[in-house]
């Protein structure tokens, strides 16, 4: 669960800075970066620190036109989508995995090793 998302235009002269604080889970940094990209933002620089318990990510981004994000509605959408992405990652982690998958031999192996 993402605990904090801060969108800041004051820290950098050239970039909008998105700061994220969350408990550490495997794949969360990837999920957040993918979500930022899906919002049409260009990640120019990122620094992610993770220990056993916490993740802190800072993403320096620009919009598709190479500008900082000033539109209040877009900032709210960024914050909401990143909070939701972290919660979705946690939900998926807790879902049971179906391990009863039928294994099939690839066709090229069937020609090399035909069944008796």
Q: What is the mean pLDDT of the chain?
A: 83
Please, what sign has the CA dihedral across residues 4, 75, 50, 89? positive
Is the per-residue pLDDT at 54 higher than 80? Answer: yes
For 33, the token pair is 């970066």
**Model confidence over 80-116: pLDDT tens digits?**
999 988 776 555 555 555 555 555 666 666 666 666 6
Name the pLDDT band for 51 (thresholds 50, 70, 90).
Answer: confident
pLDDT above 70: percentage of residues in the chain: 73
DSSP code, position 100? -
Domain residue limits, the chain = 4-112
Name the pLDDT band for 53 (thresholds 50, 70, 90).
Answer: confident
**CATH annotation of 4-112:** 3.30.70.260
Q: Are 15 and 62 in contact (CB under 8 A)?
A: yes
Is the per-residue pLDDT at 4 higher than 80? Answer: yes
Cα–Cα dist 77/85, whole Å: 12
DSSP assignment of 2-24 equals --EEEEESSS-SS-EEEEEEEE-
């Amino acid at each position: 669960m993402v605990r904090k998302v801060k969108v800041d235009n004051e820290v950098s002269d050239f970039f909008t800075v998105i700061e994220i604080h969350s408990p550490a889970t495997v794949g969360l940094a990837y999920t957040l970066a993918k979500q930022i990209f899906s919002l049409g933002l260009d990640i120019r620089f990122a620094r992610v620190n993770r220990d056993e318990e916490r993740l802190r990510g800072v993403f320096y981004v620009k919009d598709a036109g190479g500008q900082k994000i000033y539109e209040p509605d877009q900032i709210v959408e960024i914050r909401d989508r990143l909070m939701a992405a972290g919660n979705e990652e946690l939900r998926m982690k807790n879902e049971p995995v179906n391990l009863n998958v039928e294994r099939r031999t690839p066709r090229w192996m069937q020609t090399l090793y035909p069944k008796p």
